[in-house]
Structure 1
Amino acid sequence: MTTTTLKNFYLPCALAIGAAALIGWNVVGLQAHEASTPAPEPALVHEGDLLRLPQKSPLRRSLVVQAVVDQSVQAPFVLPATVEADPARLVRVLPPLAGRVIRLNKQLGDAVKAGEVLFVMDAPDFAQANADATKAQSALTLARRNLERQRELDKADIAAGRDLEQAQSDYEQAASEAARAAARLTQAGGAAGNAVAGGKLAVRSPISGRVVALAAAEGAYWNDATAPLMTVADLSRVFVSANAQEKDLPQLYVGQQASIKLDAYAEPLKGQVGYVGEMLDADTRTVKVRLPFDNRDGRLKPGMFAEATLRARAHSGIVVPMSAVIQSGFASRAFVEVKPWQFQARELKLGAQIGEQVEVLAGLKAGERIVVKDGVLLND
């Protein structure tokens, strides 16, 4: 083999060996560099059931920890409600006798003053009762005069004692008959001022208010003594009536503050309980709760639906922000700081939500510190 040939053979081999050595050196240097660089510290360390945040953990900058304290708690509860007329200010007017309506003095929606004539009826029984009362009164007047005459004669020793006794008996019978006829006339609606010309019966309003219901027209014959012909109501004062369940009874009391939300108006009304029912409804197992409201502006209409939010009796308890409660499946948990930057998950029993807070019934004690912000970052 010639010298030139040997050079051509060994030169590529030398270059290959040098390249391999260079690559090996670089790999060894990189491994040595990696071995000298420490691994980054984790943000969260699990130590059994504890969660520890290392010194340089970024979670320390985002978590907010606060202590829980005992405080006065008034948990709200919501009851379905409706607006109702005051029963003491609503009168369903029933005609006292069967008859024909010959005149309607008031129409639906008309204002009414106490004592005003609502309608006039032609009632045959009323006419008969009126005639009987007039006849009995005339007989009583005649019997009284005869008795007075017999007394004068008896004083002058002109009349016999028997005639005086008969006059006394006649007078007592006439007085009894007059009282019976007057009572029947009164029962028939013949109180003072209720009779009009021709023996017709005028039915008057017992209260001031408005006609809110009308069930007849002029000329109609009315013979149902149990059905109101007209309803008059004074709606200047109404009730919001709520239905409370048995479980709510310990939290109800007269004077209790309440907020009423009506579908018709955006702004809730503020009121207080004026009456708590004494008996439960046998069918619904609820008790009636009434809240009185001034309604001179007429905004509240009987029959409106509403929601009444009442606050239970004040008691001592623990309330935490909703952000402190972490859901884990069906369980509610909070992270309790047992040592500085060491946390333990604690299952909670929750009560009523109060605005952006919730009452904790079990699982926490006053003085313990919990994560109230970004606790979900620990829930891994």
Structure 2
Amino acid sequence: MKNKTLPNFYIPSLLGVACFSLIGWSISGLHAKEAQAPEAPAALVREGDLLRIPEQSPLRRSLAVAAVPQQSVAVPFTLPAVVEADPARLVRVLPPLAGRIVRLNKHLGDAVKAGEVLFVIDAPDFAQAGADAAKAQAALTLARSNLERQRELDKSEIATRHDLEQAQSDYEQARSEAARANARLNQAGGASANPKSEGGTVAVRSPISGRVVALAAAEGGYWNDATAPLMTVADLSRVYVSANAQEKDVAQLYVGQSAQVKLDAYADPLQGNVGYVDEMLDPDTRTVKVRLPFDNRDGRLKPGMFAETTLLARPHPGLLIPMSAVIQSGFSSRAFVEVKPWQFAPRELKLGTQIGEQVEVLAGLKAGERVVVKDGVLLND
């Protein structure tokens, strides 16, 4: 009996049917497993503008919520500043008259005590002023003697009344001329307690103790500008840091105000207080000068140094929130406020000045409200 076999063209068709059946069985098995897997809990449920965090949500472990208390807020503001010498401890020494500098007793950097001779100048006009004063004094002495003689003669009724009156007039004129000559000599530095004169030379002394910080002449030179300082003596043991405040900041300035000064020359800031606020605005810059005194016995602060002064404005009641609580949404800033336990609503804020890691809230929040202060960005749209 002959064996019956399938034709060759049937074999591929049977194999295809078997493969298709196997794939279908696999897909059906996967769908069955997916149907059996439980759904993951929702991390966030949106109900209109309200955001609710379900009990099993992982957000409950990451979000941090804190109340916003009302507190005293002192807003800092920064002003450009410069180190200046104390005007009461700086003297620009001018020569009393034009003349030749015959001796420089002090040079740049030299320490000076009050009353020490700084320089000696030979001034021809001073010699003339001394001669005029001596001549006037001699005339006064003669007029005084003549007046006394005429008074004695008048008592004896020997001199006429006219001679006595003439002697009195001559004496008054001589006294006036002597006073004028002495005043001119004093102005030239001849008879004051500060300079000391010998002939035509004037020894100019320092009015304060300190150090020579500027010198504009050399020994042997001729100085003909009596309005320009020849030498500057300054006591820099105390200096000022002077800041310029704009008109908008004037209301926030007061004596005793706390300040921090940052100098370009040093890394560590200085702590100080406002010692003086100018009474008038500078008409050119429309600013008010604020001076902060500093002890400078170590000489670290050099007049002319640039600085930045950060002042704390007058304290006022306000609200501060961490910067981490502020979420930027386009051009607006907002925070998420807890209206019920684990239910939040976005609130648009009006912000003020940043103070360290916090920022002042001018509008949008009330004292005591609770806001998300950590990972609030996870609630953002």
TM-score, normalization: structure 1?
A: 0.91
Report the counterpart of residue 243 of structure 1 in structure 2.
244
User: 1:26, CA displacement in angstroms?
Assistant: 5.2
C-alpha change, 1:196 and 1:19, in structure 2 (3 Å) is closer
User: Residues 1-80 of structure 1: matches in 2 within 5 Å?
Assistant: 5=5, 27-80=27-80
| More displaced stretch, 177-186 vs 149-158 | 149-158
Give the residue type in structure 1 aligned to 2:256.
G
The aligned counterpart of 2:361 is 360
Shift in Å, 1:108: 1.1
Distance 1:10 1:299 in 2: 105
Query: What is residue 190 of structure 1 aligned with on the other side?
Result: 190
| Whole-angstrom distance in 2 between the partners of 1:225 and 1:207 | 20
The alpha-carbon deviation at position 174 of structure 1 amounts to: 1.1
Counterparts of 1:84-233 in structure 2, within 5 Å, are 84-192=84-192, 194-233=195-234
Q: How far did residue 350 of structure 1 move?
A: 1.3
Q: After TM superposition, give the deviation of residue 124 of structure 1 in Å.
A: 1.3
The CA distance in 1 between the partners of 2:17 and 2:135, in whole Å, is: 151
Matched position secondary structure for 2:267: coil
Cα offset for 1:327? 2.2
Q: What is the Cα-based RMSD across aligned positions, in Å?
A: 2.6
What one-letter code is carried by the residue in structure 2 that aligns with 1:274?
A: G
Counterpart in the other structure of 2:288: 287
Aligned positions, number = 380
Matched AA of 2:278: G
SS in 2 for 1:301: coil
Deviation at 1:49, TM superposition (A): 2.4
Asked if structure 1 preserves the Cα contact closer than 8 Å seen for 2:67 and 2:370, the reply is: yes
Q: Deviation string for 1:205-239 (max 9, x for gaps)?
A: 22221111110111111112321111111112211
The one-letter code of the counterpart of 2:318 is G
1:264 maps to which residue? 265
- State the 1:151 CA deviation: 2.1
After superposition, the Cα gap between the structure-2 partners of 1:12 and 1:277, relative to the gap in structure 1 and judged at 3 Å, is: closer
CA distance in 2, matches of 1:14, 1:200: 135
Check if 1:375 corresponds to 2:376: yes
Question: For the residues of structure 2 that align with 1:299 and 1:286, how far apart are their CA atoms?
Answer: 28
Q: Which amino acid aligns with 1:256?
A: Q
Tell me how far 1:91 sits from its aligned partner.
1.2
Distance 2:103 2:41 in 1: 97
Question: 1:64, 1:377 → 2: CA distance?
Answer: 12
Per the TM alignment, residue 70 of structure 1 is displaced from its structure 2 partner at its CA by 0.8
Q: Which amino acid aligns with 1:346?
A: R
CA distance in 1: counterparts of 2:45 and 2:188, whole angstroms: 93
Superposition deviation, residue 338 in structure 1: 2.1
TM-score after normalising by structure 2? 0.91
Query: Which residue identity is paired with 1:48?
Result: G
Distance 2:5 2:299 in 1: 120
- C-alpha separation in 1, matches of 2:202 and 2:312: 53
- Residues 223 and 341 (structure 1), Cα distance of their counterparts in 2 relative to 1, 3 Å cut: same
DSSP-derived class of the 1:60 partner: helix
User: d(CA) in 2 for partners of 1:89 and 1:12?
Assistant: 113
| Superimposed CA distance per residue, residues 325-363 of structure 1 (whole angstroms, 9 cap, x where no aligned partner) | 122333222121222222222222211111111111112
Distance 1:9 1:238 in 2: 110
1:340 paired residue number: 341
Counterpart secondary structure, 2:131? helix
- How far has the Cα of 1:126 moved from its partner? 1.0
Unpaired runs of 5+ in structure 2?
none
Mapped to 1, the partners of 2:200 and 2:19 lie a distance apart of: 136
Q: What amino acid is aligned across from residue 231 of structure 1 in structure 2?
A: T
SS at match of 2:199: helix
Distance in 2, Cα, partners of 1:34 & 1:163: 143
Deviation at 1:69, TM superposition (A): 1.3
Matched position secondary structure for 1:371: strand
Give a deviation string over 1:179-221, Cα, whole Å, max 9, x none. 1111111122223353433321222222221111110111111
Residues 255-281 of structure 1: CA distance to partner in whole angstroms, max 9, x if unpaired? Answer: 111111112222221111111112222
Question: What is the CA-CA distance between 1:21 and the residue it aligns to?
Answer: 6.3
Q: Say if 1:338 and 1:199 are closer, same or farther in 2 by CA, change over 3 A.
A: same
Alpha-carbon distance change, 149 to 10 in structure 1, aligned in 2, over 3 angstroms: closer
Give 3-state SS (helix, strand or coil) of 1:78's partner: strand
Shift of 1:82: 0.6
Instruction: Please identify, of 337-346 and 361-370, the stretch whose mean Cα deviation from structure 2 is larger.
Output: 337-346
- Tell me, yes or no, if the aligned pair for 2:72 and 2:316 is still in contact at 8 Å: yes
Q: How far apart are 1:10 and its partner, in Å?
A: 11
